[in-house]
Structure 1
Amino acid sequence: MQELTSDRQASVWLLSDTHLIADSLHDDGSAFQRMKDTSAGKDLVYQELALKAFVRKVVAAKPTAVVITGDLTFNGAKASAEKLAEIFKPLTDQQIAFLVLPGNHDIYDGWARKFSGATEIRVDEISQEAWKEIFADSYQVAYHQDSSSLAYSVNLNQDYRLIMADSNIYGDRYSLTHPITNGRIPSAELAWIENELKDAQRQQKHVLFFMHHNLYQHNDVVHGGYVLDNAEEVQALFKKYQVQAVFSGHIHAPNITGPEKNCPSVEVASSCFAMTDQGYGVISLTPSELTYQHYSFDAMPCLTDEEKEKIPAADFRTYLRAVFNESNEKMLAKSVNRFATPHDLQLAQQLINRLHWNFFTGHSFYSAEQKAEFFHSPGYQVLTTAMPELKNYLQSLLDVDQDSQQVKIQFND
C-alpha cells in the first residue's frame, strides 16, 4: 500500500484560497485596477512573490505534505494554475507531497481574463481534465481516485487516510459567467467517500477530510453559499463513520467549530492566504492525536534583497494591512452621507477595521469584558446609529465561541 511516509510523527501544512492571478495576466492598467477595486481586501499584485517565499519556508521545514483547500486561482485562468504548480514544484523535488483540491473559482470560471491597459481579454479556463494534468503530482500519490469528480484519497502513513473531496458545482464546460459560489457533494461522490471511510476503518486508519466548502456555519449572518447545500447529509455520514477532523476554506476567515450534537467532526476553516496576515496551519500528528496551530506568515525573511525592493511598503505585512483596510473604507464610503461628521465616519471606520481584522485573522474569541468594550465604544455607537442594519452583522463578528488559533483532537479507537 502506497503511503507518503513511514514516520508516525507526521506533519501537514495547510493553506487555502491563494487566489493567484499570474503576473503574465495583468499590468498596471485601468482594467486591472477596476478588478483590484472589487477584490475584497485580497492582494492580487504580489502573490507570485509571496508564494515563492512561502515555498522556501516549507522546504526548510520539510513537513510530510502541504495541502491547499481550493481557490488556488483568482479567476480560473489556466495560466495561473500552471504558474502555481510551477511555484510549488520544489516541494515534490524535496519529497514533500503537494496535495490540492479545487475551489469554486478554479474550474470553468467564466471570469478567466488577462488585463491589458483598459482591456479585458478572455483566456483559457481550467477544465477538470486540465486540472489533473496541471496538478499531476497530487494525483500520482493518490491511493484511490473518484471517477465522478476530482476527489481522491491519500494514505499519509499507517495511521491516517486523507480524503480530498470535490465540493464544487460546475457550470458549462466553457463558462461565460461568474463561478457558482455554493457547493455540494453529489450522490456519486458521496458513495465513493463512504467506501473510502469503510476502507479506512478496515485498515484502522483515522480520516482527515479536506474540502473547499464548509461543513458547518462559521458566522451567523454570512453563511449562504459557504456551507454545503447538503451539509446535513454529509454530517450524517460523518456521524456514521465517526469522522473527527474536517478542514475547509472558502469563508476566508480562520474559524474552528464543532463537534456538534449530531456530528462528531471538528471543522477547521482556513483563512485566505492572499489577504490579511497570510495565515496557514500546521497539523501535527501522532498515532492517536492531532494538534492544529494557526500561524501568520511573514514573507520578508524568505525574500531576497532584490525581491524586497519590489514591495511598496516598509514590509509585506504593512502593505497587506493597507490593502485590507482600503476595502473596509470603500464599504463605508458608499454610506458617507449617513454620518454626521467626518470624525464620526473615522470612528466607525476604526471599529470596522479592528473587528474585520480580528475576524479574518482568527482573533475574535473575545472575553465578556472585551465584548462590552466594543459595545460601549464611540465607534460602535456612531456606526449603529448611522447604519442600524449592521447590528446583527457586527454581533456575528463578536459571537465566536471557540479559539480559532489552535485545537487538539484525541482520536477514538
Structure 2
Amino acid sequence: KPELLIVSGDLTFNGEYESMLGLAKYFRQIEENGTQVSVIPGNHDIHSSWARRFVGSEMEKAKQISPTAFRETFADFGYDLATHQDPDSLSYVIEPKPNYPIMMMDTNIYSDTETSKSPTTEGKIKIETAAWLAKYFEENAPAIWVGHHPILAHAKSERTGNTLENADEINPLLKEQGINALFAGHIHAQNISSDGLTREIITGALSIFPNSIGEITLNADGLTYNHRELAVEAWAEATNQTDPDLLSYSQTSYDIFYDYGATLGLMQMFEEQWYQVEYEEDVMDFVGLLNVRYFSGLDFGKDEELANHPGYKIIQENSKGFLKEYSTRSLEDNDLDDRKLFIPNEYLVK
C-alpha cells in the first residue's frame, strides 16, 4: 500500500479508447485502497492508428484516444494533485511530499486529431512546454523528473527513438536546476544509467517478465529505489487459486518471455537470410536467455556464460543486422546495478 503509484506511459492497448476506460476503473480501485495514482501518456496511448478491437474473431479499427479524452479520463489520477499544469501538453507537477516536487512530463509526439499513422517512437519536449518549464523554474526548485522517453542513453549503441530527441537541450537545463533523479519508461527494460551526478531509472514493464515494479522510498537521508516483482504466487495462494500457471507464475512468466526471445532469434535468422538448421538451437537459446537478462536488469557487469555461448559466436559471425546489434548492445552494460539505487538528499533537494 504505497502512498503514490506513478505510471510513466504506455498505459493502454495501442491507444484504444475502451482500453483507457477499463484501466481507469483499475486506477479507481487502487485509489479506493488508499494509494494515489499519477499518470502520464506514452507514445502508444494517444491518436494511434494501431487502436483495434475484436468483434467475435474479427479485428477492426477502434476509437482512438485524444489528448482531451486522456486528461478527462485520468483527471483523478494525477491531474487532481497538480500544483502546476502545462496548457500546451499533458505535463504537470505534483508535490506528494513537501520539498519533493515531481514533474510528470508529456514527452510524446502525437497528432491533435485521429490519424492513420503508426505511433511515433521518438519523443520531444515541445517549445511551448520548454517555455513553461523555464517559467516554472524561476520560482520553484523541483526534485524529481518523470517522463516517458529517457533523457540519458541506456546503452552505448543507443537505438534511434529510445531517447528524447532534444535531450541535448533538456539535460543541461535539468542539471542547472539540480535535478539528479530522473524516471522514464519507453524501452520496457529494467535499467539505470548515469551522467555525472544524474541518475535515470527505467522500471521494466509490468506486463512482461519479470513483471517489474519500482519501489521508491523518500526519507531524511534521500531517495532509495529497489526493483520488485509482481507477487502473483502469493496472491494465488492467498485467494485459493488452483491454476498451476498462477501458483508458479514466476516460472510461467519466465517461460513465456524466454520462448518469445527464442522465436525472435529464429525469425531474425530467416529475415537476415542466414538461417541454417545447425544454428537454430544455439541461436534460439542464446536470444531467449539474452532477452530475459536484458529486460530483467541483470545485464550490468560482464556475463561470461553468455559471452561464450555458441549462439553468440554464431550471431557475431553471420548477422549483419538486428541480431548482431541487439546482442552486442545487450552485453555491453557495465555501468550501474540496474535494480537498486540510493540518491542522497544533498543531490536531490535544494
TM-score, normalization by structure 1? 0.77
**Greater relative contact order, per chain length (Cα 8 Å cut-off, separation 6+):** 1
19, 37, 59: which is aligned to 1:98? 37
1:91 Cα offset (Å): 2.6
Q: Please say if 1:110 is aligned against 2:49.
A: yes
Judging changes above 3 Å, is the alpha-carbon distance between structure 1 residues 155 and 375 closer, same or farther for their aligned structure 2 residues? closer
Instruction: From the superposition, tell whether residues 111 and 393 of structure 1 become closer, same or farther in structure 2 (CA, over 3 Å).
Output: closer
Matched to 1:251, the amino acid is I
* Cα contact 2:290–2:306 (8 A) shared by 1: no
Is 1:363 the counterpart of 2:303 in the alignment? no
Give the aligned residue type for 2:134: E
* Equivalent residue number for residue 66 of structure 2: 127
Cα distance in structure 2, aligned partners of 1:125 and 1:105 = 11
Letter of the aligned partner of 1:158 in structure 2? Answer: P
Q: Which residue of 2 aligns with 1:189?
A: 129
| Cα deviation code 1:33-56 (max 9, x no counterpart) | xxxxxxxxxxxxxxxxxxxxxxxx
Distance in 1 (CA, whole Å) between partners of 2:275 and 2:71 is: 52
What residue number does 1:378 align with? 310
Selected match of 1:332 from 265, 283, 302: 265
Q: Which of residues 287, 290, 299 is equivalent to 1:352?
A: 287
Alignment of 1:2-401 (within 5 A): 62-137=1-76, 138-201=78-141, 206-260=142-196, 264-303=197-236, 308-309=241-242, 315-334=248-267, 335=269, 338-342=274-278, 344-367=279-302, 370-371=303-304, 373-387=305-319, 389=321, 390-400=323-333, 401=335
* Shift of residue 388, structure 1, vs aligned partner: 5.2
The CA distance in 2 between the partners of 1:195 and 1:269, in whole Å, is 28
Deviation at 1:384, TM superposition (A): 2.6
Count how many residue pairs are aligned between Structure 1 and Structure 2: 341
In the TM superposition, what is the alpha-carbon distance from 1:383 to its structure 2 partner? 3.1
**Distance in 1, Cα, partners of 2:43 & 2:180:** 25
In 2, the alpha carbon distance for the partners of 1:301 and 1:134 equals 32
Q: Quick one: which amino acid aligns to residue 358 of structure 1?
A: R
Distance 1:176 1:305, change over 3 A: farther
Q: How much has 1:72 moved relative to structure 2? A: 0.3
Question: How far does residue 395 in structure 1 lie from its aligned partner after superposition?
Answer: 2.1
TM-score w.r.t. length of structure 2: 0.90
The one-character-per-residue Cα deviations of 1:177-209 (angstroms, maximum 9, x if unpaired) are 2111111001111122233333333xxxx5111
The CA deviation string for residues 250-292 of structure 1, in whole angstroms up to 9 with x for no partner, is 00111111124xxx42110121111111111011111451111
Stretch deviating more after TM superposition (119-128 or 227-236): 119-128
Is the counterpart of residue 402 in structure 1 residue 347 in structure 2?
no
Corresponding letter in the other structure for 1:351: F
Following the alignment from structure 1 to structure 2, what is the Cα–Cα distance between the partners of residues 347 and 319? 22
Closer/same/farther in 2, CA of residues 91 and 306 from structure 1, 3 Å limit = closer
Aligned sequence identity (%): 28
Counterpart CA distance in 1 for 2:132 and 2:72 is: 22
Taking the aligned partners of 2:46 and 2:144, their CA distance within structure 1 comes to 24
Does the residue aligned with 2:256 lie in a helix, a strand or coil? helix
Instruction: Confirm or deny: 8 A CA contact 1:238 1:265 kept in the other structure.
Output: no
How big is the shift at 1:217? 1.3
* SS of equivalent to 2:284: helix
* Residue 341 of structure 1: how far off its partner (Å): 3.9
1:31 maps to what in 2? none
In the alignment, is the contact (CA less than 8 A) between 2:67 and 2:112 conserved in 1?
no
- Tell me the alpha carbon deviations over residues 114-171 of structure 1, each in whole angstroms, 9 at most, x when there is no partner: 1234422222211111111211112111111111111111112212001100001112
Tell me, yes or no, if the aligned pair for 1:244 and 1:411 is still in contact at 8 Å: no
Contact 1:217 1:223 in 2 (8 A): no
Unaligned ranges ≥5, structure 1:
1-61
**Residue pair 2:50, 2:119 contacting (<8 A) in 1 also:** yes
Q: Secondary structure at the match of 1:292?
A: strand
Give, in whole Å, the separation in 1 of the partners of 2:206 and 2:198. Answer: 24
Q: For residues 295 and 107 of structure 1, do their structure 2 counterparts lie closer, same or farther at Cα, with a shift above 3 Å needed? A: same
Instruction: Give me the whole-angstrom Cα distance separating, in 2, the residues matched to 1:310 and 1:124.
Output: 34
SS in 2 for 1:164: strand
Q: CA deviation at 1:226?
A: 1.6
Q: In the aligned structure 1, how far is the partner of 2:246 from the partner of 2:96? A: 40
Deviation at 1:222, TM superposition (A): 4.4
